[in-house]
Amino acid sequence: MEPVRYIDRTTDYYRSQGYDKAYAWAKNDAVPFTPLAKPLAQCRIGLLSTSEIAIRFDPATEANPISEEGFRAVYELPADVPTEKFYSRTASFDRYATHLEDVNAFFPIDRLREAAASGRIGSIPPRFYGAYNNYSQRKVREEEAPKALGMARADALDAAILVPV
């Protein structure tokens, strides 16, 4: 079966829900490209996702391990936290077809750690990165993307894996 045409499908769906104006998804002709500068085994690879990933903590005794500045902005999470403490806060997924109990199905931190441990990639940074689905493309371009770039540079990333959820 062909892939779902989400642009058409969501336009029809939200119209049926009483929203008249269709969302104008980003559309570009030109696409920037940067080749990988060195072998993957020497690269530091970062991970960013829109799964609204968070870390469980006990508010009575612990501070929130993630720091979020600004409203629904790009944020960072310490990478040395056990996988079972990570969870997603998003409600934007197909809740009839799947679930978010296994973070590695949308935020593949163990797969990334394994790749570093086996030498397939050079290393991972001390932080993972999180984002939200943002309606405003202007906000993503002018605020979130530069913030993500700043984090990538601060952590000396050679490449990044991005997972929209």
According to CB under 8 A, which residues from 104 to 143 bind other proteins?
104-108, 110-112, 114-115, 120-121, 131, 137, 140-141
For other proteins, the closer of residues 1 and 60 by Cβ is 1
Shortest reach from residue 58's CB to other proteins, in Å = 23
Other beta carbons within 10 Å of 36: 10
Q: Determine, following the binding rule CB under 8 A, whether residue 82 of this chain makes contact with other proteins.
A: no
Pick the closest to residue 45 from 122, 106, 107 (CA basis): 122
Stretch that binds other proteins, among 3-11, 57-65, 78-86 (CB under 8 A): 3-11
44 near 122, Cβ under 8 Å? yes
45-49 and 127-130 strand pairing: parallel
**Going by C-beta distance under 8 Å and a sequence separation of 6 or more, which residues neighbour residue 85?**
55, 56, 57
Site for other proteins in 21-40 (CB under 8 A): 25-37, 40
Shortest reach from residue 61's CB to other proteins, in Å = 27
Give CA–CA dist 116/47, Å, rounded: 13
Q: Determine, following the binding rule CB under 8 A, whether residue 9 of this chain makes contact with other proteins.
A: yes
Q: Determine, following the binding rule CB under 8 A, whether residue 52 of this chain makes contact with other proteins.
A: no
Q: Determine, following the binding rule CB under 8 A, whether residue 149 of this chain makes contact with other proteins.
A: yes
For other proteins, the closer of residues 81 and 159 by Cβ is 159
Pick the closest to residue 137 from 145, 126, 127, 147 (CA basis): 145
For other proteins, the closer of residues 52 and 66 by Cβ is 52
Among 62, 64, 146, 154, the residue binding other proteins under the rule CB under 8 A is 146
Q: Determine, following the binding rule CB under 8 A, whether residue 100 of this chain makes contact with other proteins.
A: yes
Please tell me whether residue 55 adopts helix, strand or coil conformation. strand
Q: Determine, following the binding rule CB under 8 A, whether residue 19 of this chain makes contact with other proteins.
A: no
Pick the closest to residue 79 from 103, 113, 104 (CA basis): 113
Please tell me whether residue 74 adopts helix, strand or coil conformation. coil
